[in-house]
Amino acid sequence: MCKQTVVITGASSGIGRATALHLDQLGFTVFAGVRKEADGISLKSEASSNLEYLLLDVTDGDAVQIAVDTVVRHTDGRLHGLVNNAGISLNAPLELMPNTKIQQIIDVNVVGLLSVTKAFIPLLRRTKGRIINISSGHGVLAVPDKSVYAASKFAVQAITDSLRLELHPFDIQVSSVVVGKVDTAVLGKILSDREQIIETSPSEVVKLYQPLFDFFDGEVKELSGIPPSEVASLISEALTTGKPKSQYLIGPGASKMRNLARLPVGLRDWLMVKALYK
């Protein structure tokens, strides 16, 4: 049984929740970050006494510091793993994306991840711990209709690569998990949020981007996903293996997007234009 301690952000549902429960079953002491107390109570009801929840909004500096203080108080400041899972996704062409949504995506997916990681580095240094950043296929290949989200996930990849070397002298290992389609409630929310954007945008502008909507909606609906438990299992491997990889890929679409990203830019753009604008 593992007796190490791990912090997971965004553990209310989906990948984060599955990972918190999986690591709890493996014997980790788990601190699961949630934004609502009801989500924390629900999570604890399915876990052992080794799991505690943290009320953690990654964009709230005070909440981040309270989370650090709580972990220090319960573990004597010894943290073995940080899983940066908290994130939001919203798909829409940039012209239709409200500025408030642009700010929110960057605040959560990039600034929040940086803030949480910075706060926990001193604890991870004491244990020569590990950082796992949850990324996306859109962090290795930027496609139209996802410019803002892709920007945030490319940033996650850049942060991972930079920190892997920056923290190397302290033996802190840093990896990213590039996730393809996973069957969670997030997918439904992505579609409903974009419908709201479409409804509140000028119809003549919406029509200009209709080919993008049609193509990507079809891609999402037709592509089979994997359960979040499979991602949770991979994350546990990245936390426990002797030599973690710098990058893991899992789920439909992840490897395909990486392979497309390796093509010459002109060829890649030509292929995407032919697929999008038939």
Q: How confident is the model over 68-103, as pLDDT tens digits?
A: 999 999 999 999 999 999 999 988 999 999 999 999
Point out the catalytic residue in the list 53, 149, 209, 248: 149
Amino acid 1: pLDDT: 43
Look-up of token digits 């699961």: 32
Here the tokens at position 179 are 């996730």
Contact indicator for 250, 177 with CB cutoff of 8 Å: yes
Q: Does the active-site annotation cover 149?
A: yes
Distance CA 247, CA 176 (A): 5
Taking residues 161-185, what's their average pLDDT? 93
Q: Is residue 115 a contact partner of residue 58, using CB atoms and an 8 Å limit?
A: yes
Q: Report the distance separating Cα 82 and Cα 72, nearest Å.
A: 14
- Name the amino acid, one letter, at 121: I
pLDDT tens-place string over residues 44-73:
999 999 999 999 999 999 999 999 999 999
Predicted pLDDT of residue 220: 64
- The domain limits of the chain are 5-276
* pTM flag (> 0.85): yes
The mean pLDDT of 35-52, rounded to a whole number, is 95
**Which architecture characterizes domain 5-276 according to CATH?**
3-Layer(aba) Sandwich (3.40)
Task: Determine the Cα–Cα distance for residues 237 and 89; give it in Å rounded to an integer.
Answer: 25
Distance CA 268, CA 265 (A): 5
Q: How confident is the model at residue 185 (pLDDT cuts 50, 70, 90)?
A: low
pLDDT tens track for 172-181:
999 999 998 8
Residue 222 has what pLDDT? 67
Closest to 12 in 3D by CA, of 50, 64, 55: 55
pLDDT mean over 231-240: 96
Distance separating alpha carbons of residues 113 and 161, to the nearest angstrom: 14
